[in-house]
Amino acid sequence: MSLLSDPAPLLVAVPAMSAVLLALVPSYRVGALLNVAACGLTFALALLLLGAPRIAGPFLIVDDLNIVFVVLNTFVAFTTAWFSAGYIAHELETGRLTPLNLRFYHAMYQVLLGAMTLALLSNNLGVMWVAIEVATLTTVLMVGLYRTEAAIEAAWKYFMLGSVGIALALFGTILVYMVAQPVVGEGAGGMIWSVLMKRARDFDPALLNVAFVFLLLGYGTKVGLAPLHAWLPDAHSEGPTPISAVLSGLLLNVALFAVLRFKSLLAAHPGTLAPGPLMMAMGLGSLLLAGFMLYRRRDIKRLFAYSSIEHMGIIAFAFGLGGPLANFAGLLHMTMHSLTKSAIFFAVGHACQVKGTQELAKIRGLTTSHPLLGWSLVAGVVAIAGLPPSGVFMSEFLVVTSAFAARPWLALILVLGLLTAFGALMVKLSGIAFGEPSPGTDPVKASYVPMGVHLALVFAAGLYLPPELVAWFRHVAAVLG
Amino acid sequence: MDRALALPHGSALDAALSASLVFDVAHLFAGALVLISFLMLYQDRLYALLKVFALQAVVLALSVGWQALAQDAPHLYVTAAIALVFKAMVIPLALARMVKRLGIHRQVETVVSIGPTMLAGIALVALSLVVMLKATADVGGAADALAREDLAFALSVVLLGLLMMVTRRNAVSQVIGFMSLENGLILAATGAKGMPLVVEISVAFSVLIALIVIGIFLFRIRERFDTVDVDALDRFRGGRA
């Protein structure tokens, strides 16, 4: 089999090799370019997956569910690397980072990308667990990159909560193996997805239920679901902005992917407890909590970190609701959220650089002082708040309608949460975008292209979804059960 | 032992004896791990806490080694060796040096006093026994009784480690809480017969701890705050929201 017909191993190998290379390159300029090139290559390979056969080997699996995640992940990683190249140069000029920091940063970026791709493509739940742990480790190190008190505190909190989450997830994974072992026998078979999914009907339901609770709590910590979200706002606000974009847009999705895999395992067994109510409760809890917390934020990156909690809540609710329509809406919302949120973080990164602060009170009147940046941010916030004609509006509309059809009372809570968050975002936006500009009128040095591409995709999706994409998402939604 | 004696002589006796021996010894180690977790909760001096943690790592190594012997799984010896060298020696010694250099050996600041913590610990053990024994009632048969009870003990160790993490203020004791939690996970993983990747997982954990904790955080925290009291981090947060 040629490599082109099976790009999956390369998708993991390219970032791994680039990480080694980037750790050795002393020049930050060359490093930044190489980083973009490596991410671009990974994205191109991910596109090849679309045409590749759906195969489940002993190590890697390619199925319709993980292709959606891999393509989205590598795309956002590519655009973020592009954004980061310009952003990082500015951080170097202002002295917040040193060239040695950057070498470390670029190598870690590739390790993170490789680990996330491995987590998505792995056919072995143990390997997936190790990959997610490696991804956590790299982000912990990157969150602490600025070495300020706040950054260290954020990284410490993230490390502690993230490790507990990952430990609970491992306990759940061990339980799943113990459930599988009497049925599929000892050894590697009990950890392989494609085998587990086929034999799921013969598993013991009681222990599988307990396992799912641990897995949901464990990986749910990384998704940022309330009440396990405490690490998220700090980690997002204290790390370099490209990392905030990658955390919000990608790492949360990877953790969610793990939850979805196990959910489909439960869905394949008729005798287990429905995973829905748990996920819906955590989802609504996150949505409401984040909605109210949004009003009191004084730091622009924390504001959008809470917005990520809100949206992960909506997505978890949609998948918890289950059924073809809600699953479809969840997938679409996840895609739209990744694209929009990373675009917003790109804009926020520029805004913080030109104003020299992250404080909301000191970032005002952006549309006057930096029209292009200001209006892009307005477009991004309008999209994330769920106003038409953005793709987020489409997906939120679908979540709400499917909720009203299945659980009207829960739908009311959902709508309350959505409106609360909407109000908060609008209040904050009017200050940031309009009014008397605050001091700081330096021109934006980095590229607008990544932000523009993301926003264009989000608004295009709101107006027109290609039928191929719809058919695909429908198929995945059916698999998820 | 009565079971064994009631059986006829010959190979059947040997088999029964060895089966019950495997069970009893594995039980002894797993039970000892839970007990040591309680001992850790009780400690209010950092050096003492480190010593008890090292003891737990030694018992874990013995337990994993016993499982390797009983299951005839040589790769588990690697895990046992990692536990013995890394967790029972390298980490406690490194942490002890750090504690000495920082001059924080006098006390462990607890959020909740020892009495209620111990009571909460007992409740957690009861909870994990109920949950695990009930959930695994239909899995396997008598043959898997070992795995079932190991799992219940393992969950107890995990929850007690978690309890330690939330009831301690000091970064060093939080790390110890996390590592004892992870001891429970290794116990569960080695108790699950033939589970692959156990070695890799224990290595991944060791790397996580070594890299983050020893290499970077404690020194950076010290550098910035002159203390490893997590309270100082909280105080710093002050007006940021």
- ipTM of this complex prediction, to 2 decimal places: 0.85
* H helix or E strand, kind and range, residue A399: helix A391-406
Query: Of A476, A456, A435, which Cα lies nearest the Cα of A334?
Result: A476
Closest by Cβ to B241, choosing from A152, A191, A296: A296
Q: How crowded is residue A137: how many other Cβ atoms within 10 Å of its Cβ? A: 23
Q: Does residue B166 carry a pLDDT above 90? A: no
Do A219 and A162 form a contact (C-beta atoms < 8 A)? no
Residue predicted with more confidence, A248 or B225? A248
pLDDT digits over A398-424, tens only?
999 999 998 899 999 999 999 999 999
Least confident interval from A73-87, A314-328, B86-100, B133-147: B133-147
**Mean of the pLDDT values across residues A476-480?**
85
Angstroms from A107 CA to nearest CA on chain B: 16
**Cα–Cα nearest to B192, from A330, A126, A194:** A126
pLDDT at B231 over 80: no
For the cut 50, the answer to whether the pLDDT of residue B4 exceeds it is no
Owner of token pair 């991004």 = A380
Which chain B residues are within 8 Å of A147, Cβ to Cβ?
Answer: 220, 224
Cross-chain residue pair B233–A152, CB shorter than 8 Å? yes
The per-residue pLDDT for B241 is 40
Closest by CA position to A9, among listed A38, A34, A42, A35: A42
Closest-CA residue of chain B to A360? B241
Upstream peptide bond of A99 is cis (omega within 30 degrees of 0)? no
B241 SS3 class:
coil
**Between A80 and A96, whose confidence is greater?**
A80
Q: Residue A148 region, left (φ>0) first, then alpha (ψ -120 to 50), else beta? A: beta
Q: What is the distance of C-alpha A185 from the center of its chain? A: 35
> What pLDDT does residue B6 have?
45
Structure tokens at B26: 């594995």
Measured distance CA(A373)–CA(A361) in Å, rounded:
18
pTM, rounded to two decimals: 0.90
Residue A39 has pLDDT above 90, yes or no: yes
Our CA dihedral for B131, A207, B201, B73, rounded to 10 degrees, sits at 100
Per DSSP, the residues of A396-451 read HHHHHHHHHHH-HHHHHHHHHHHHHHHHHHHHHHHHHHSSSPPS--PPP-S-SHHH
Which stretches within A185-200 are classed as H helix?
Answer: 193-199
Q: Give the Cα separation of A211 and A203 in Å (integer).
A: 12
Q: Do A134 and B216 touch (CB under 8 A)?
A: no
Residue with the two structure tokens 């190190």: A141
Q: In angstroms, what is the C-alpha Rg of chain A?
A: 21
* pLDDT value at residue B219: 57
Mean pLDDT of chain A: 89
Chain B residues lying within 8 Å of A302, measured CB to CB: 241
Residue A6 sits at the chain B interface (C-beta within 8 Å): no
pLDDT of residue B119: 93
* pLDDT(A88) > 90: no
User: Which of B71, B144, B193, B213 has the highest number of chain A CBs within 10 A, making it the mutation to test binding with A?
Assistant: B193
**Cβ–Cβ below 8 Å for A153 and B188:** no
Instruction: Summarize the confidence of residues B15-28 as an average pLDDT.
Output: 79
Nearest-angstrom CA–CA distance, B213 and A357:
30
Residue B71: the pLDDT is 85
The answer, for B76 touching chain A at a CB cutoff of 8 Å, is: no
Residues A319-365 pLDDT 10s: 998 888 999 999 999 999 999 999 999 999 988 888 888 888 888 88
- The percentage of residues in chain A with a pLDDT greater than 70, rounded to a whole number, is 99
pLDDT for B11: 57
Higher pLDDT, A444 or A90: A90
Percent of the residues in chain A that have a pLDDT greater than 90, as a whole number? 44
Pairs across A and B, CB distance < 8 A: 130
> CA of B220 to nearest chain A CA: how many angstroms apart?
8
Q: Which amino acid is at B197?
A: L
**What is the average pLDDT across B126-137?**
86
Question: So what's the pLDDT on residue B240?
Answer: 44
